[in-house]
Structure 1
Amino acid sequence: MAVWIQAQQLQGDALHQMQSLYGQHFPIEVRHYLAQWIEGQLWDSVELENPQDELKAKRLLDSLVQELQRKAEHQVGEDGFLLKIKLGHYASQLKSTYDRCPLELVRCIKHILHSEQRLVQEANNAVGSGGGGGTMDSLSQRHQQINQTFEELRVSTQETENELRKLQHNQEYFIIQYQENLRIQAQLSSLSAVPAEERTQRETSLQAKRATVEAWLTREANTLQKYRLDLAEKHQKTLGQLRKQQTLILDEELIQWKRRQQLAGNGGPTEGGLDVLQSWCEKLADLIWQNRQQIRRAEHLTQQLPLPGPMEELLTKLNSDITDIISALVTSTFIIEKQPPQVLKTQTKFAATVRLLVGGKLNVHMNPPQVKAVIVSEQQAKALLKNESTRNDSSGEILNNNCVMEYHRTTGTLSAHFRNMSLKRIKRSDRRGAESVTEEKFTVMFESQFSVGGNELVFHVKTLSLPVVVIVHGSQDNNATATVLWDNAFAEPGRVPFVVPDKVLWPQLCEALDMKYKAEMHSARGLCDDNLVFLAQKAFSSASINPEDYRSMTMSWAQFNRESLPGRNFTFWQWFDGVMELMKKHLKPHWNDGAILGFVNKQQAQDMLMSKPNGTFLLRFSDSEIGGITIAWVAENPNKRLVWNLMPYTTKDFSIRSLADRISDLNHLMFLYPDRPKDEVFSKYYTPPLSKAVDGYVKPQIKQVVPEFTTPNPEPSSGNPTYMDQAPSPSVAHPINFAIFPPIDPMMDADGEFDLEDTMDVARHVEELLRRPMKTSNGFGPIGLYFFVNSQR
């Protein structure tokens, strides 16, 4: 109810906007008397495009009707009697209106609530800024400027309407007097048949009257011409304001919305404000159409009574100008509300939504237009924007690519929802140099034809989606995502499709990586300065550069995702994307808890741990393996203290046993760096103990051990767990090697980490482990997963 209380305090244009949300489709009285109930329902839990949620919507409709009926029954007294009848009528009306389409009721109420919240927020921002004595923020100032200009345009349009009516009235009176003059001339011509004495007297009278009328006609003709010229001048001024306002809305506000939509593809804030843009565009359309109709009426008056002067040419120019303005408005407001996926896999269903922001105001929905979707190449997109393409060739075949636009009366939106499109095939162009298929960009073009004013004006409109990269296999997703991220981050408004800079400043790339990382983690905890320094050292393959120097360094696309890192078979982006994939699937809670340092190299880990007590450990991302994370810990060696590193875990490992459970298994790990007891950090993620035996069977449990850090097994006794004395089962065991720092095992890579092939079978790992001695000559040993059983029967 808090929103409704604040909404009732709105003033001026905001109050008018709020009131315009209500009508026959949803009476404002229902909102008032059921305010608390309405704001307490979970309207956003209903997905409007999901037919399966229609049952939820039906329950909400029934509950709303019941609440209205209950409210009506509690009304007493004379005033209560009238309200009882009114609320009962509204209950029946809503039931009959939405019973067959309950999702439309949810759409209506969601639109109302979101609009009220926006209006209240804007009003609070304005009051807060003004009351504090400071200047309004730029957003509020710009919105206030736009609304103020609309008020000025409304006033000037009303003034020209009044002037036009005055002109029409004066012209009609002029025509009457002109007809009177013709009648006097006819009477003078007929005097020849009248006797001379009487003719002279009547002729003198008629001539005097004709002279008076002709003098008035001459004077009034000049006045009419002046009125016409003044009216044309006012229209010219209004058109200048309309053009300026339209430029502000379409070339700034709408372009900024599209930019936010593009950044949302990289994980930026979800674009909002489309309803505000639609309200502005509808006001523009209304004012432009009113002025156009006025100009047309002025042309009609000029044709009715031609007068000497430039009026006809002026009105022709005004008509042409205002038609250009409305044409730009219609073609620019045909937008993609929901973009198709930017990494588009063939033979896979995808969706998109297009919307005409002025469709309801210009009554386009009276003859619902059809929208067609086709996929075109980068070269075809360039030709389309230059109006060079005369053929309708596409670069592929999209199934279910036709859709009729639907008008939603409750929200006033005209849109087409493509729900089941699928790219059947794609035709690729010849690639240049080192460019791969995952660097080739396409776009989905939506096109339609609208008629306005009873086919008076017909517009053929097209709009292009954000660039899409077409893949045929999931293994291409990583590189395709890199192309999309680079394009979304560094594309400039108004560019030639789909040109992006080949090099960007490192801080710009950091901003894009941080945005993507936070979006994948669904967390405000992104990449800190130390993380970004680590990434810079990896990207530029140098740890000796001063961190401040990275700010002025540039990174090319080739360095980002075309050239492999030194000594590796993967690129910088492939490594970073592997980290995000691992974190997103298995380790997101631990990152958000601050338990994972992650972006730390082996030398840094050693320096950090050597000053800490034995058993202190940290988690860092593997340098040598995509999507790997390792545990580094400090422990005592017979000769000296060393930092040990486990072979990296990957997503396959965590699908068998979670990170928290693995850390719980390893008793030699005691403190998470710098000094947090591990149970304090990870215990809430431990898997609960197994239940007791059922029907005489004991359930096995996988447990991880590092043999060199495992205390001798206790003697089997009742109630105590024991390790099986046989080898771990190949189906559940995954022996993992570990390394100590600083010696390097000859079987390890330069970082001291094993580089096992992804396709190596787990069973073969186990067999290798069983053939190895538990203590090797260089002091390294295996780590494994063992069955852990409860001996209780």
Structure 2
Amino acid sequence: MLLSRATSNLLSGYRAEERMAVWIQAQQLQGDALHQMQSLYGQHFPIEVRHYLAQWIEGQLWDSVELENPQEEVKAKRLLDNLVQELQKKAEHQVGEDGFLLKIKLGHYASQLKSTYDRCPLELVRCIKHILHTEKRLVQEATNASSSGGGTMDSLSQRHQQINQAFEELRVATQETENELRKLQHNQEYFIIQYQENLRIQAQLSSLSAVTAEERAQREPSLQAKRATVETWLTREANTMQKYRLDLAEKHQQSLVQLRKQQTMILDEELIQWKRRQQLAGNGGPSEGGLDVLQSWCEKLADLIWQNRQQIQRAKHLIQQLPLPGPIEELLTKLNADVTDIISALVTSTFIIEKQPPQVLKTQTKFAATVRLLVGGKLNVHMNPPQVKAIIVSEQQAKALLKNESTNNTSSGEILNNNCVMEYHRTTGTLSAHFRNMSLKRIKRSDRRGAESVTEEKFTVLFESQFSVGGNELVFHVKTLSLPVVVIVHGSQDNNATATVLWDNAFAEPGRVPFIVPDKVIWPQLCETLDMKYKAEMHSARGLSDDNLVFLAQKAFSSTSVNLEEYRSMTMSWSQFNRESLPGRNFTFWQWFDGVIELMKKHLKPHWNDGAIMGFVNKQQAQDMLMSKPNGTFLLRFSDSEIGGITIAWVAENPNKAGAVAHQPTGSKAEGERLVWNLMPYTTKDFSIRSLADRISDLNHLLYLYPDRPKDEVFSKYYTPPLSKAVGGYVKPQIKQVVPEFTTPNPETSPGNTYMDQSPSPSVPHPNNFGIFPPISDPMMDAEGEFDLEDTMDVARHVEELLRRPMANQWDSQPS
């Protein structure tokens, strides 16, 4: 029988826990399901009642009431009275400014439900049964929909549900200790009254010495008996009270254990993950949203911790009022220290940087940042708004700060406008300081190590503040460090500084010593980082394909393997990434890749997103691909030898071969040698003069974008509309791109007057006499027929030289 009762209790506990989960899961509903759930409530049954009495409501046996049986009205009436009583109790326990309003509201709902259902309590049962059954159905449907989409609730939803469930358990436990504390206080007050009564009786007994023996004989026995009864009660009650005190202290201890566990989950897991997402966002990762959810959790933690702290202090005050033998005072002292540690850890950990300063920080340039205290509103910190100060510190100073070593408050530079007052925003409930106009005036660098350059030196912006809570009861000095920043003084350093930041953001580990990162990573890790960065800069879901990654691996490791699997176990060091130049080049792997990103981002993003740019293809691969296609087929590939260059490769007959013509239509039988040609690479400067689409439109010998798409079908939507006619007697000039070897000569214009915006670059050996410029004597061409900027004049001077050459009547103007 005992085993059966225990089993029944255990099962009922499981059922209660399952029922309790309904309201928690109902709050996670979205879309139409959420609207359906909300429509269940109104004046007949307010949603606030469902929320604040969730555990009690789901713990009642509503289904045991037979709605069609009038005799069940007594049972329904009891449930109504209990519901009203629970609401009134909930209202009485509300304290503080917010609690006062809630107290009035809950009291109003208690009266409203009483007057509505007092004469028809079965209707209340009908209403609540409908609500609970509908909620359960909606939750089940949402769970099934999630299951059909690939399993049960995803790990994120499960973790959030676990956190919310733990908060509900903590709220219930805190309410129970509050009730126990009130009961203990009431018992102690009654005990003191009885103790005073005992003193009064003793005083009366003492006064009997002054009366006659006869009167004393009459009064003394009753007083002695009364004193004995009171002292017996006091002794028994003292033992009981001491047990109550110990039980309450143990419950507080259990609550603190659960609070610390919940806080660890939120701060050491959820908040750390948010910070990690924020760091990856610096590399183009997904937005780090979810801070508002974190704040709601942290505020709940702050509220519960503070309530427990106040309860422990009240319990300690009761003991001071009525000391009793035992270890209870020492235990409460320890509990008070523990709860203070918990609230201190919460406050100091929730002082975070909502908006990071730029990680590549240029001196004399304005920048912004925002810091936020996630528990500021709940602890009423804004009642005396604290001031936040920002200073820049070196890597060594950051290490000392994390070790709590003194840094003498010295900074490694001077930041202007580095003080800001935290503001409370009532609409969002956030307490934050927004630094809008900071500027790094100067920087003090440390001695560099080995081959480290100035763009590898890391700093961090330290934000610190001080404030008090609880009427200066607790004073907090909070600090937080920004993500590592690299300070530059000139735009030419941006490329290398970005590499340092990219590597740090991608491969930093949580809890590291500032700002240590691994020197080597496996190639797939770097691929993920490069793909993330590339997609972010392109604002597109089209990232780097496996073929693209093979090309990048070949370039990074100077390898000829075409199997991606062979690269998966290979490692790439920081030196290979951005210290050592690629073989035969004067730039690093990252500098080349970043040049591609800059070119694409500024001028070619639409074409990449359209799939028009193949890009990551070398010369030999382009030749192999094009030679099997009809004449006039072309593709766009990134230059191997020039940073931020892109070239057009196309297949055509050699126009200088005997019997060949300048342009041969597809399918012609004319004799000639088919070659793959590579146009001199275009750069950002070229596209600032004329767009890629217009340049391709100019070149009539380009017919099909590889493999077989007509070029107008791909590029026509980007063509510049034709120029209008002359205005005010002036003819507008027009720039046209011409490749002379593939242009039919104009009989009215001598060959010497042909304007060539770019020169051809054959991919295979061919006769040198093109009739334009002797290729072997052009110092601007490298062995592959592409620019070699290190050995010649810069691009601007080269363009100037080209523009001085005679034009083929491209600019004709009317006299003014």
TM-score normalised by L of structure 1 = 0.80
Shift of 1:549: 1.1
Shift of 1:75: 37
- The aligned counterpart of 1:257 is 274
1:539 partnered with 2:556: yes
Given that residues 107 and 411 in structure 1 are in contact (C-alpha distance below 8 angstroms), is that contact kept between their aligned partners in structure 2?
A: no
Task: Call closer, same or farther: CA 1:762–1:434 in 2, change over 3 Å.
Answer: closer
Partner Cα separation in structure 1 for residue 447 and residue 206 of structure 2 = 88
Task: Call closer, same or farther: CA 1:21–1:485 in 2, change over 3 Å.
Answer: farther
Given that residues 399 and 421 in structure 1 are in contact (C-alpha distance below 8 angstroms), is that contact kept between their aligned partners in structure 2?
A: yes
Task: Call closer, same or farther: CA 1:606–1:37 in 2, change over 3 Å.
Answer: farther
Given that residues 730 and 763 in structure 1 are in contact (C-alpha distance below 8 angstroms), is that contact kept between their aligned partners in structure 2?
A: no
Shift of 1:637: 1.6
Task: Call closer, same or farther: CA 1:377–1:740 in 2, change over 3 Å.
Answer: farther
* Helix, strand or coil at the partner of 2:772: strand
1:710 partnered with 2:729: no
Shift of 1:363: 0.6
Task: Call closer, same or farther: CA 1:739–1:442 in 2, change over 3 Å.
Answer: farther
Shift of 1:754: 3.0
Shift of 1:391: 1.0
Given that residues 450 and 458 in structure 1 are in contact (C-alpha distance below 8 angstroms), is that contact kept between their aligned partners in structure 2?
A: yes
Shift of 1:542: 1.4
Q: Greater CA deviation, 575-584 or 107-116?
A: 107-116
Shift of 1:755: 1.7
Given that residues 373 and 398 in structure 1 are in contact (C-alpha distance below 8 angstroms), is that contact kept between their aligned partners in structure 2?
A: yes
- The aligned counterpart of 1:752 is 785
Q: Greater CA deviation, 747-756 or 406-415?
A: 747-756
* Helix, strand or coil at the partner of 1:736: coil
Q: Deviations over 1:659-682 (max 9, x none)?
A: 000000000111110011011110
Given that residues 733 and 762 in structure 1 are in contact (C-alpha distance below 8 angstroms), is that contact kept between their aligned partners in structure 2?
A: no
Task: Call closer, same or farther: CA 1:614–1:124 in 2, change over 3 Å.
Answer: same
Q: Deviations over 1:271-304 (max 9, x none)?
A: 1100000000000000000000000000000000
Shift of 1:695: 1.9
Q: Deviations over 1:606-654 (max 9, x none)?
A: 0000000001111000000000000111010268111111110000000
Partner Cα separation in structure 1 for residue 164 and residue 623 of structure 2 = 61
Q: Greater CA deviation, 705-714 or 345-354?
A: 705-714
Which ranges in structure 2 are unaligned for 5 or more consecutive residues? Answer: 1-19, 657-672, 808-812
Partner Cα separation in structure 2 for residue 79 and residue 301 of structure 1 = 27
Q: Greater CA deviation, 175-184 or 34-43?
A: 34-43
Given that residues 464 and 480 in structure 2 are in contact (C-alpha distance below 8 angstroms), is that contact kept between their aligned partners in structure 1?
A: yes
Shift of 1:544: 3.8
Task: Call closer, same or farther: CA 1:327–1:474 in 2, change over 3 Å.
Answer: same
- The aligned counterpart of 1:215 is 232
Shift of 1:18: 12
Task: Call closer, same or farther: CA 1:343–1:771 in 2, change over 3 Å.
Answer: closer
Task: Call closer, same or farther: CA 1:97–1:327 in 2, change over 3 Å.
Answer: farther
Task: Call closer, same or farther: CA 1:437–1:118 in 2, change over 3 Å.
Answer: farther
Shift of 1:557: 0.1
Shift of 1:713: 2.2
Given that residues 655 and 742 in structure 2 are in contact (C-alpha distance below 8 angstroms), is that contact kept between their aligned partners in structure 1?
A: no
Q: Deviations over 1:62-115 (max 9, x none)?
A: 999999999999999999999999999999999999999999999999999999
Shift of 1:748: 3.2
1:415 partnered with 2:432: yes
Task: Call closer, same or farther: CA 1:313–1:99 in 2, change over 3 Å.
Answer: closer
Q: Deviations over 1:107-145 (max 9, x none)?
A: 99999999999999997898xx36879421100000000
Shift of 1:197: 1.0
Q: Greater CA deviation, 439-448 or 10-19?
A: 10-19
Shift of 1:731: 30
- The aligned counterpart of 2:303 is 286
Given that residues 565 and 571 in structure 1 are in contact (C-alpha distance below 8 angstroms), is that contact kept between their aligned partners in structure 2?
A: yes
Partner Cα separation in structure 2 for residue 285 and residue 696 of structure 1 = 77
Shift of 1:737: 14
Given that residues 592 and 643 in structure 2 are in contact (C-alpha distance below 8 angstroms), is that contact kept between their aligned partners in structure 1?
A: yes
Given that residues 48 and 107 in structure 1 are in contact (C-alpha distance below 8 angstroms), is that contact kept between their aligned partners in structure 2?
A: yes
Shift of 1:328: 0.3
Q: Greater CA deviation, 734-743 or 218-227?
A: 734-743
Given that residues 739 and 760 in structure 2 are in contact (C-alpha distance below 8 angstroms), is that contact kept between their aligned partners in structure 1?
A: no
Q: Deviations over 1:383-436 (max 9, x none)?
A: 000011251011011000000000011111000000000001100000001000
Q: Greater CA deviation, 83-92 or 641-650?
A: 83-92
- The aligned counterpart of 1:71 is 90
Task: Call closer, same or farther: CA 1:76–1:216 in 2, change over 3 Å.
Answer: closer
Task: Call closer, same or farther: CA 1:526–1:33 in 2, change over 3 Å.
Answer: farther
Partner Cα separation in structure 2 for residue 601 and residue 263 of structure 1 = 31
* Helix, strand or coil at the partner of 2:737: strand
- The aligned counterpart of 1:508 is 525
Q: Greater CA deviation, 732-741 or 540-549?
A: 732-741
The equivalent position to 2:47 in structure 1, one of 28, 36, 39, is: 28
The equivalent position to 1:724 in structure 2, one of 743, 751, 756, is: 756
Task: Call closer, same or farther: CA 1:521–1:704 in 2, change over 3 Å.
Answer: same
Partner Cα separation in structure 2 for residue 66 and residue 724 of structure 1 = 93
Given that residues 351 and 419 in structure 1 are in contact (C-alpha distance below 8 angstroms), is that contact kept between their aligned partners in structure 2?
A: yes
Cα RMSD (Å)? 13.5
Partner Cα separation in structure 2 for residue 467 and residue 55 of structure 1 = 69
Given that residues 368 and 436 in structure 2 are in contact (C-alpha distance below 8 angstroms), is that contact kept between their aligned partners in structure 1?
A: yes
Partner Cα separation in structure 2 for residue 725 and residue 384 of structure 1 = 58
Task: Call closer, same or farther: CA 1:376–1:208 in 2, change over 3 Å.
Answer: same
Partner Cα separation in structure 2 for residue 513 and residue 439 of structure 1 = 19
Shift of 1:548: 1.6
- The aligned counterpart of 1:436 is 453
Given that residues 581 and 589 in structure 2 are in contact (C-alpha distance below 8 angstroms), is that contact kept between their aligned partners in structure 1?
A: yes
* Helix, strand or coil at the partner of 2:544: coil
Given that residues 738 and 756 in structure 2 are in contact (C-alpha distance below 8 angstroms), is that contact kept between their aligned partners in structure 1?
A: no
Task: Call closer, same or farther: CA 1:249–1:65 in 2, change over 3 Å.
Answer: closer
Given that residues 360 and 407 in structure 1 are in contact (C-alpha distance below 8 angstroms), is that contact kept between their aligned partners in structure 2?
A: yes
Task: Call closer, same or farther: CA 1:6–1:238 in 2, change over 3 Å.
Answer: closer
Given that residues 111 and 411 in structure 1 are in contact (C-alpha distance below 8 angstroms), is that contact kept between their aligned partners in structure 2?
A: no
Q: Greater CA deviation, 479-488 or 74-83?
A: 74-83
Partner Cα separation in structure 1 for residue 66 and residue 719 of structure 2 = 35
Q: Deviations over 1:215-250 (max 9, x none)?
A: 000000000000000000000000000000000000
Name the % identity: 93
Partner Cα separation in structure 1 for residue 292 and residue 406 of structure 2 = 34
Q: Greater CA deviation, 175-184 or 8-17?
A: 8-17
TM-score normalised by L of structure 2 = 0.77
Partner Cα separation in structure 1 for residue 703 and residue 74 of structure 2 = 52
* Helix, strand or coil at the partner of 2:124: helix
Given that residues 143 and 152 in structure 2 are in contact (C-alpha distance below 8 angstroms), is that contact kept between their aligned partners in structure 1?
A: no
Task: Call closer, same or farther: CA 1:558–1:76 in 2, change over 3 Å.
Answer: closer
Shift of 1:503: 0.1
Q: Greater CA deviation, 34-43 or 22-31?
A: 34-43
Given that residues 3 and 117 in structure 1 are in contact (C-alpha distance below 8 angstroms), is that contact kept between their aligned partners in structure 2?
A: yes
1:696 partnered with 2:723: no
Task: Call closer, same or farther: CA 1:522–1:550 in 2, change over 3 Å.
Answer: same
Which protein is bigger by CA-based radius of gyration?
Answer: 2
Partner Cα separation in structure 2 for residue 100 and residue 371 of structure 1 = 61
Shift of 1:751: 2.5
Partner Cα separation in structure 2 for residue 707 and residue 187 of structure 1 = 129
Question: How many residue pairs were aligned?
Answer: 775
Q: Deviations over 1:439-488 (max 9, x none)?
A: 00000000001211110000000000000000000000000000000000
Q: Greater CA deviation, 573-582 or 762-771?
A: 762-771
Partner Cα separation in structure 1 for residue 74 and residue 423 of structure 2 = 22
Given that residues 334 and 355 in structure 1 are in contact (C-alpha distance below 8 angstroms), is that contact kept between their aligned partners in structure 2?
A: yes
Partner Cα separation in structure 1 for residue 65 and residue 488 of structure 2 = 33
Task: Call closer, same or farther: CA 1:494–1:638 in 2, change over 3 Å.
Answer: same
Shift of 1:733: 28
* Helix, strand or coil at the partner of 1:703: coil
Partner Cα separation in structure 2 for residue 662 and residue 321 of structure 1 = 72
Q: Deviations over 1:556-606 (max 9, x none)?
A: 000000000111110000000000000000000000000000000000000
Partner Cα separation in structure 2 for residue 629 and residue 346 of structure 1 = 33
Shift of 1:546: 4.0
Shift of 1:547: 2.9
Task: Call closer, same or farther: CA 1:617–1:236 in 2, change over 3 Å.
Answer: same
Task: Call closer, same or farther: CA 1:614–1:446 in 2, change over 3 Å.
Answer: same
